[in-house]
Structure 1
C-alpha cells in the first residue's frame, strides 16, 4: 500500500482534536486503520449486495468476489457476508490498484454523486476513530437502558455512514455524541402558536406558552430565535433523543444529516403521535405480555420540522425487580455474556412478536435502536420493548380481518401493500437486528432455523422462509439523492441462500 497523506476529513479532525482534546490525539491516530476497515467492510457489503446500476455483473471465485463495472473496470475483494459485523475488509482492488480508504475508493469509482458520498465516508471514518479514542468504560453493568446505549460505539452495524456527522465540530461530537458519555444541557424555546398532541406537562409550559426542548446543536446552527435554560439529559443512540435522569425520554429536532437522514420531526408525526400511541398500546396488549410499547406522553411542534419535540416513556418502566432493559443494538456491541443458544431464543421471541403483529396488521421498524429486550436476572430474554412509533406501517385490511378498528388517520403510515409491510419488518428485524446480533450468515441461519419451528405457518412466514430477504439499499440511496422514498436490496435468504 502506498504511503499517502491523510484524507481531508481525517486530517481536519485530527488537527482540531489536537487543540480541543490533545490527550486523545494518539488514540485517534492509532484508531484510524481500524475505522477505515470498519467503514470499508460496510461499503463492500453495499457494493456486493445492492442494485447499483453501474455494476454489470458479479464473478465469484475461490479467491473472493469480483465486480465487473459497466465501464469495463473490475473491483475485487473477499467474499461478502451480508450479515457480518466484524471489520474483515482491509483492502479492495480497483483494476489491481489497492485501496484501504473508502472515501478514496469511491472517488476513484467516479460514479454519479460519488464526490458527496466520498466526503460522508471520510467523515464516517474520522468520527468512528474519534468515538473509539475515548478511554475504556469502567465499573459494573449499567443500571439504566440509556447507559447501555452509550456503550454502542460504532453506530449502525451495516451503514458505511455509521458515524458520519458532517456539520459537527470535534468539540460538538465530544459534547453531544452518546458514545462519549456527556451530559447535554437542552434549551427551551417558548412558543405561542403551537401544535400540541397528548398531555404536555406543566413543567414545560410558561403560562399560555409551550416550552419546546431544543438540542444545543439545533439552537446554535439552525434556529434563529432565542432560548432559555432548560434541563440536563443523557443522549441516546439516535443523538437527538435524550433520557432525563429518572424520567421520560425527549426526542428533539436535529436538522443534521446523520447516516442517511436529516433528523428533524415532521409535522405529520406530531399530528398523528397520540393516535398512533393509543393504537399501538392496544395492539401490544394482544401479544400475551411479550411486547410493551413506550407510550407517547406528549408531542409539540411550532408548525415546523425544525422546532418540535416528543416526550415518551422510558423503556425501563417495563422491567420488574431484578430485570433489566437492553437495546438490541447493545447486545453484540457490549459483549453481554450469553448462555449457549441465547441468540436463537432471542430470535424466537422477536419473530413471534413481529410476525404476530404483522399478521394483525402492524409492521414494526424493529431495528436494533427501536427494539429493546427485557432480560431476567440470569440474562434470559423475556419480553420486548418497542419505542419510536413514527415509522411503523398499519394495514386497515389486515386489521379488519381480525375485527380490529383501524386508527383514524391517513398518510405514509397507512398501507395494505404486503411487500411494503414485509419490507418494513423483515428489513429492520431480520436483516438488521437479528443479523447484527448473530454476526454472520452462518450464525443467523442457525438462529433462525431453530426459531421458526413453532411459529404459525402464515403467508408472511412463508415469504420470510422462501423469498430473498429485503434490506434498505443504504448506499444506493446516498448515491441517488434525488430519488424519493426508500430503495431496497435483496440479500441471500438465510434459509435458502436465494438472493434474487
Structure 2
C-alpha cells in the first residue's frame, strides 16, 4: 500500500529542488525540532484540562498520566514556563515516542488526526526555519530597523505545539514569506470602489485610484484564496505574524491571510475594521494616563471590501517611539539579546510590565500583552525604559471599571466589552505573565525570582492579590486545537509562579 510522504520527507524533497545545499542542515535540525514541539506538547498534556486524562502523578521519576482508556504516559516533570526543548521522548505504555505527531496519532483521542498533521508540519517547518539561518558572523550587533528584530524570532510561539506550523505553504512560499527567512515581499493591491467598502480612519493617497481604494493583498492570499492577479503594491518586510508587513519608511500593513497559523485562520473581520478607529482614539487616552510608560500604535486606516478575505489595516510603526540611541523590539525577541539572564534585568522588566498592565486593568482595560503585541523600548545600554503596544483587536474593556475612574466608555459593542472579572484577568494574566514574562524568563524558577523582586514596587490592587493567590490562567492551546467545534478561548490553570522554587543559579 502506497503511503503519502511524511511532512519531514516532503519538505526535504522540496528543499532538494530549491536549495540542495541546505538539505544536510535541515536533516541535522530535525531531532531538535521534534524535541522542541514535543516539549510544548508535553506541557499541554501535563497542565491542560484534557478530558481524556484522568489523573496526573508527579514523583521522583517524573510525571505519570493516566488516560481514560487505562493506558499510561510517562515523561519528565513538566515546568509550565520552560522554553528549552528538554523533552526528547515520552513513553506510552512503555513504548518511547520522540516524534510529537506519532505520539498524538498513537493516543488516538478525538480530533487527533488533524492536529497530528499540524504537529508534523510544525516540526518540519521549524527545522527548515533553523536550517535557513545564516552562520554567526562575529559579535552580535543589535538591529535598528523594526522588521530586523522580528526576523530574529526563529522558533515562533514559545509554548504552542504549532509554533511553526504553516499548512498550505510550500517550502518556496515559506522562504518567500516567512520573516525568519528575511525576504522582501511584493504586496499586491485590489482596486475596489470606495462606495462598496467599509472604511474607518484615513486611507492614504498612494493607496487610492480616483474613487477606488487600493486594498493591499498578501501574495499568498492572492494565489490561494482570491485566485486572481493583483496590481503591484508596495515592497515590505514580513513581521512575526507573517501577515503583517513593514513598509520601509511607512506603516505596518496587516493583510488578510486566510491560512491557519498556530491556532486560528487569519482574516480581518468587518467587526474589527469597524471598531478600529474608535479603539485607536480611545487608546490615545490610555497612553496619556500611563506616566510616559506606555505608547500605543495608532491605527491609521482600515478597510474591507465586505469580505474577511479582502481587507487591510494600516498601523503606524512602533519605531516612532524610539528616542536617540534607543531600540524598540517585540518582547518575543528579548531572548535573542541575552538580557533576561543578566542580574536584575528580568526583575526590572517585570516591574515595568506589571506596573503598566495592572494600572490599565484597574482602570478598565485588559491588554492581550503577549510577546508579539507587546514591545519594549531599551536604552542604548539595554535597560527597559517604556512599553509599546500594538494591535488592539483583542483587548477587553470594562465599562464599570472605566466609570469608577471617570473614563468614558468608547462607543463599542460586542466581544471587546465586558465587566466579567475572570475574563478581564485571564486576558491580561494569561498573555503577560504566562506569555510574555514567562517566555522571557525561560523557566518557572526564573519567573518566580523576577516576580518576587518586582512585586514591592507594582500597584497593590485587587487584581494583583488575585494573581498572587490563585493558579495562573493560560490559554489551553492544545485543548483548543483538539476541540475545533468549541468556539472561543479555553483555559488551563498553571501552577502559580509565586509558589515555585526560586532560581538560585548565578544569573
TM-score, shorter chain, exceeding 0.5: yes
Q: What TM-score bracket applies, with the shorter chain setting the length?
A: over 0.9
* TM-superposed deviation, 1:475: 0.1
Distance 1:318 1:424 in 2: 25
User: Structure 1: where are the runs of 5+ without partners?
Assistant: none
Distance 2:437 2:192 in 1: 42
The answer for the alignment partner of 1:157 in structure 2 is 158
Instruction: Give SS of 1:166's match.
Output: coil
Q: Answer whether contact 1:338 1:379 (CA < 8 A) is retained.
A: no
The answer for the alignment partner of 1:474 in structure 2 is 477
- 2:23 corresponds to which of 22, 25, 47: 25
The answer for the alignment partner of 1:136 in structure 2 is 135
Asked if 1:299 corresponds to 2:302, the answer is yes
Distance 2:432 2:213 in 1: 37
* TM-superposed deviation, 1:136: 3.0
The answer for the alignment partner of 2:198 in structure 1 is 195
Distance 2:10 2:68 in 1: 35
Asked if 1:327 corresponds to 2:330, the answer is yes
Distance 2:340 2:121 in 1: 33
The answer for the alignment partner of 1:60 in structure 2 is 58
5 Å-filtered alignment, 1:306-455, equals: 306-336=309-339, 339-455=342-458
Distance 1:368 1:281 in 2: 21
Q: Answer whether contact 2:476 2:490 (CA < 8 A) is retained.
A: yes
The answer for the alignment partner of 1:166 in structure 2 is 167
Q: Which deviates more from structure 2 when the two are superposed, residues 299-308 or residues 450-459?
A: 450-459
Q: 1:53 to 1:337 in 2, by over 3 A?
A: closer
Instruction: Give SS of 1:495's match.
Output: helix
5 Å-filtered alignment, 1:227-306, equals: 227-306=230-309
With structure 2 as the length reference, what TM-score do the two structures score? 0.96
Q: Answer whether contact 1:300 1:310 (CA < 8 A) is retained.
A: yes
Distance 1:137 1:85 in 2: 22
The answer for the alignment partner of 1:115 in structure 2 is 113
Asked if 1:208 corresponds to 2:211, the answer is yes
* TM-superposed deviation, 1:86: 0.2
Distance 1:227 1:15 in 2: 30
Q: Residues 359-387 of structure 1, C-alpha deviation per residue, up to 9 Å, x if partnerless? A: 00000000000000000111100000000
Instruction: Give SS of 1:234's match.
Output: strand
* TM-superposed deviation, 1:281: 1.1
| Count of aligned residue pairs for this structure pair | 494
Q: Residues 301-334 of structure 1, C-alpha deviation per residue, up to 9 Å, x if partnerless? A: 0111111001111001001111110110000145
- 1:459 corresponds to which of 455, 459, 462: 462
Q: Which deviates more from structure 2 when the two are superposed, residues 179-188 or residues 333-342?
A: 333-342
Q: Answer whether contact 1:67 1:75 (CA < 8 A) is retained.
A: yes
Instruction: Give SS of 1:379's match.
Output: coil
Distance 2:310 2:135 in 1: 36
Distance 2:175 2:373 in 1: 24
Q: Residues 203-237 of structure 1, C-alpha deviation per residue, up to 9 Å, x if partnerless? A: 00000000000000000000144310111100000
Distance 2:177 2:438 in 1: 28
Distance 1:77 1:364 in 2: 35
Instruction: Give SS of 1:42's match.
Output: helix
* TM-superposed deviation, 1:137: 5.5
Q: Answer whether contact 1:7 1:122 (CA < 8 A) is retained.
A: no
Q: 1:227 to 1:122 in 2, by over 3 A?
A: same
Distance 1:294 1:92 in 2: 44
Q: Answer whether contact 1:10 1:123 (CA < 8 A) is retained.
A: yes
User: Deviation above 6 Å: which 4+ runs of structure 1?
Assistant: none
Distance 1:334 1:263 in 2: 29
Distance 1:9 1:334 in 2: 32
The answer for the alignment partner of 1:177 in structure 2 is 178
Distance 1:468 1:110 in 2: 30
* TM-superposed deviation, 1:253: 0.4
Distance 2:153 2:473 in 1: 25
Distance 2:173 2:229 in 1: 20
Distance 1:458 1:121 in 2: 40
User: Structure 2: where are the runs of 5+ without partners?
Assistant: 502-507
Distance 1:235 1:462 in 2: 40
Q: Answer whether contact 2:339 2:345 (CA < 8 A) is retained.
A: no
Q: Answer whether contact 1:373 1:383 (CA < 8 A) is retained.
A: yes
Distance 1:234 1:404 in 2: 38
The answer for the alignment partner of 1:45 in structure 2 is 43
The answer for the alignment partner of 2:496 in structure 1 is 493
* TM-superposed deviation, 1:408: 0.5
- 1:92 corresponds to which of 69, 80, 90: 90
Q: Answer whether contact 1:427 1:471 (CA < 8 A) is retained.
A: yes
Q: Answer whether contact 1:151 1:334 (CA < 8 A) is retained.
A: no
Distance 2:141 2:390 in 1: 26
RMSD: 1.4
